[in-house]
């Protein structure tokens, strides 16, 4: 009898533990839901009040006078992100290809974590390096104020390089060795093998890495504030200053109140939607790969 | 290509190009670290590390910001580690792959991709204003905890998966229950791997600025309670640099940040390798 009750005791204890673990497992998705709810309830009402069109397509951002046009910031984010891709994708992919196909395992084991270290350097440090080195360099050599789309693109490109490199390496390494061996056995060079066999086979992983890199570039805040110049006008050349969605929030959050603050949350809503779309696409492409 | 090269020649050129680009990436890394350390190391002294900032950081050291950083991160980890490890245990030991695990993983992956400024906005509206914690250690560490949760989930899950199936089978065959097996066999074996994730989260938190500045504030005094506002090293560095308060103190703070991050990376790399070698 006594034995049976303890058996029952352990059984219900086990059930309780399972329930508890399930609760913790739901934490991430609940936090995600909580964040969406708060950002949207703070940001959507003002968008409804003034009309989505005005938020998305107006060029005037005078938040204290009730003009909440986010178009310059949307275009700003787009420009620096595209710029960052132009810098970061070739560097990241070249590194991934070199380290998986042309270098020894020893070199890869040392170089990969070193480049991943770039991801650990705080974004404020990147911003600072940008201010003291790149901004004066761009100003003296290319003209303009130095705080510009170009400067921000270069720094952001360096910041997303480790993401692209590290995920691309993983997806190239995950390919069956037979792909490479078969192609080499047919007389192809390593580069032909990489270009015609390995890169197409690892395509979805590489695309996912690029999209994740894009997400990082769109979402980066502190580095961009320090080097992009933050003007709310539309940049005409890549040497003009620019303000991104993220910097718009961070620059004005400190003192904004009332509708102005709500407009910053509306900026957050747009940013949030862009990021979620990128995340979902990256998620789906990398799932396709694992299948 | 109009100019036809022999495959061998083409490969030789591509190889050099790829090598050059990889070397460039490494050079950028080395340059950033070297540049910050060269200007920052001379500023670092015992006094710099143990004295509070004077005149908003123009004089004195960075002691209160070091304490602020440490307190904030410890509290964030105390909140995030049980949640993350619990999630990992549930995913690996208590359920089979299905729509539930897919939802949980999707949540974690999306959370990992959310920019820190969004976390900052969220923490500001929920913890600072709605729950009235104010700019405080509590608001800051809750926000940080949410940010690092995906890292802890992912690394713990991988660590637990590395524990050989035979360990579990032996425990079950000896009459161990599921929880006994998990708590006494699986978790202790996975501990080094799990700690890697925790240390990685420390690295990420040290450099975090956008999420922290809007939730923990930027007070320079030493914190006295969970509800005191505090300033982390990276926030301090940002303010020093952006407001042009003191370039040399900014370099010093940046050097301390870089050294901490280098240390953390070396430790995680070492731990991870030792852990992997044990099971593979």
Which residue range forms the structural domain that includes residue A274? 52-251+258-290
Is residue A35 situated within a structural domain? no
**CA A131 to each of CA A73, A148, B207: distance values in angstroms, whole numbers, following the listed order:** 21, 11, 18
Q: What is the CATH number of the domain that holds A245?
A: 1.10.3720.10
Determine how β-strand A61-62 pairs with β-strand A67-68. Answer: antiparallel
CB B127 within 8 A of CB B139: yes
The alpha-carbon gap from B50 to the nearest alpha carbon of chain A, in Å, equals 22
- Strands (DSSP E) along B14-109, which ranges? 53-54, 59-60
Q: What is the DSSP string of B122-161?
A: HHIIIIIIIS---SSHHHHHHHHHHHHHHHHHHHHHHHHH
A97 in contact with B, Cβ within 8 Å: yes
Is residue A157 situated within a structural domain? yes
A98 in contact with B, Cβ within 8 Å: yes
The alpha-carbon gap from B252 to the nearest alpha carbon of chain A, in Å, equals 12
Is residue A239 situated within a structural domain? yes
In whole angstroms, what is the distance from residue A204 CA to residue A187 CA? 26
3-state helix, strand, coil in chain A (%, to 5): 80, 0, 15
For the beta carbon of residue A114, count every other beta carbon within 10 angstroms: 15
Q: Tokens 């990128």 label which residue?
A: A278
The alpha-carbon gap from A221 to the nearest alpha carbon of chain B, in Å, equals 7
Q: Which residues pair with B54 in a beta bridge?
A: B59
Q: How does pLDDT run across A106-164, given as a tens digit for each residue?
A: 999 888 888 888 888 999 999 999 999 999 999 999 988 999 999 999 999 999 999 99
| Longest CA span, chain A | 89
8 Å CB contact of B118 and A190:
no
A13 in contact with B, Cβ within 8 Å: yes
Using 50, 70 and 90 to split pLDDT, how confident is the model at A178?
very high
Using 50, 70 and 90 to split pLDDT, how confident is the model at A275?
very high
User: Which pLDDT belongs to residue B156?
Assistant: 94
B83 contact residues in A (CB cutoff 8 A): 24, 27-28
Whether the predicted interface score ipTM is above 0.95: no
In whole angstroms, what is the distance from residue B241 CA to residue B246 CA? 7
Name the nearest CA neighbour of A242 among A141, A155, A140.
Answer: A155
**CA A48 to each of CA A45, A138, A252, A276: distance values in angstroms, whole numbers, following the listed order:** 5, 41, 22, 21
Is residue A44 situated within a structural domain? no
Is residue A133 situated within a structural domain? yes
CB B249 within 8 A of CB B233: no
In whole angstroms, what is the distance from residue A98 CA to residue A182 CA? 20
Q: pTM for this structure? A: 0.92
8 Å CB contact of A25 and B86:
yes
Is residue A208 situated within a structural domain? yes
Name the nearest CA neighbour of A102 among B39, B203, B200, B21.
Answer: B21
A44 in contact with B, Cβ within 8 Å: no
Is residue A14 situated within a structural domain? no
The alpha-carbon gap from B90 to the nearest alpha carbon of chain A, in Å, equals 6
The pLDDT of residue A262 is above 70: yes
Nearest CB among A35, A165, A282 relative to B118 is that of A35
In whole angstroms, what is the distance from residue B139 CA to residue B126 CA? 9
Domain count of the fold of chain A: 1
The pLDDT of residue A3 is above 70: no
Average pLDDT over residues B32-48: 94
For the beta carbon of residue B13, count every other beta carbon within 10 angstroms: 12
A111 in contact with B, Cβ within 8 Å: yes
8 Å CB contact of B28 and A190:
no
């Amino acid at each position: 009898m006594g034995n049976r009750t303890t058996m029952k005791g352990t059984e219900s204890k086990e059930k309780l533990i399972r329930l508890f673990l399930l609760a913790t497992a739901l934490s991430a998705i609940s936090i995600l839901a909580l964040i969406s709810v708060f950002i949207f309830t703070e940001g959507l009402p003002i968008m409804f009040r003034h009309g989505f069109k005005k938020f998305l397509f107006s060029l005037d951002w005078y938040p204290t006078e009730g003009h909440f046009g986010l178009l310059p910031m949307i275009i700003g984010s787009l420009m620096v992100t595209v710029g960052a891709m132009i810098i970061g994708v070739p560097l990241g992919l070249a590194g991934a290809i070199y380290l998986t196909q042309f270098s020894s395992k020893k070199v890869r084991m040392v170089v990969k974590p070193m480049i991943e270290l770039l991801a650990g350097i705080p974004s404020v440090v990147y911003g600072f390096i940008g201010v003291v080195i790149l901004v004066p360099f761009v100003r003296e050599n290319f003209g303009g104020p130095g705080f510009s789309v170009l400067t921000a693109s270069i720094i952001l490109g360096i910041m997303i390089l480790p993401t692209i490199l590290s995920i691309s390496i993983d997806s190239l390494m995950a390919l069956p060795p037979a792909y490479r061996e078969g192609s080499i056995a047919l007389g192809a060079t390593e580069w032909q093998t990489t270009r015609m066999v390995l890169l197409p086979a690892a395509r979805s992983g590489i695309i996912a890495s690029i999209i994740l890199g894009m997400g990082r570039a769109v979402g980066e805040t502190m580095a961009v504030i320090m080097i992009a110049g933050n003007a709310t006008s539309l940049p005409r050349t890549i040497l003009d200053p620019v303000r991104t969605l993220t910097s718009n929030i961070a620059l004005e959050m400190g003192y904004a109140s009332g509708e102005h603050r709500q407009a910053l949350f509306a900026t957050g809503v747009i940013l949030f939607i862009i990021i979620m779309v990128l995340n979902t696409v990256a998620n789906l492409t990398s799932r396709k790969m694992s299948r | 290509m109009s100019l036809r090269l022999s495959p061998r020649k083409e490969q030789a050129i591509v190889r050099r190009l790829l090598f050059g680009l990889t070397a460039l990436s490494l050079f950028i890394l080395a340059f950033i670290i070297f540049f910050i350390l060269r200007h920052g190391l001379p500023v670092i002294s015992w006094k710099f590390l143990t004295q509070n900032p004077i005149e908003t950081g123009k004089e004195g050291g960075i002691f209160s910001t070091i304490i602020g950083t440490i307190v904030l991160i410890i509290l964030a980890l105390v909140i995030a580690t049980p949640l993350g490890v619990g999630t990992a245990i549930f995913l690996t030991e208590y359920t089979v792959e299905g729509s539930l695990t897919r939802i949980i993983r999707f949540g974690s992956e999306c959370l990992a991709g959310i920019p820190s400024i969004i976390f900052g906005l969220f923490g500001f509206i929920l913890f600072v204003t709605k729950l009235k914690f104010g700019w405080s250690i509590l608001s800051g560490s809750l926000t940080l905890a949410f940010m690092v949760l995906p890292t802890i989930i992912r690394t713990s899950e991988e660590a637990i998966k590395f524990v050989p199936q035979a360990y579990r089978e032996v425990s079950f065959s000896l009459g161990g229950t599921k929880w006994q097996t998990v708590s006494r066999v699986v978790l202790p074996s996975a501990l080094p791997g799990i700690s890697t994730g925790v240390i990685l989260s420390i690295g990420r938190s040290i450099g975090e600025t956008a999420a922290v500045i809007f939730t923990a504030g930027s007070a320079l005094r030493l914190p006295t309670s969970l509800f005191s506002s505090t300033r982390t090293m990276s926030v301090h560095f940002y303010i020093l640099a952006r407001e042009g308060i003191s370039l040399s103190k900014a370099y010093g703070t940046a050097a301390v940040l870089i050294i901490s991050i280098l240390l953390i990376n070396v430790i995680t790399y070492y731990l991870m390798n030792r852990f992997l070698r044990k099971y593979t």
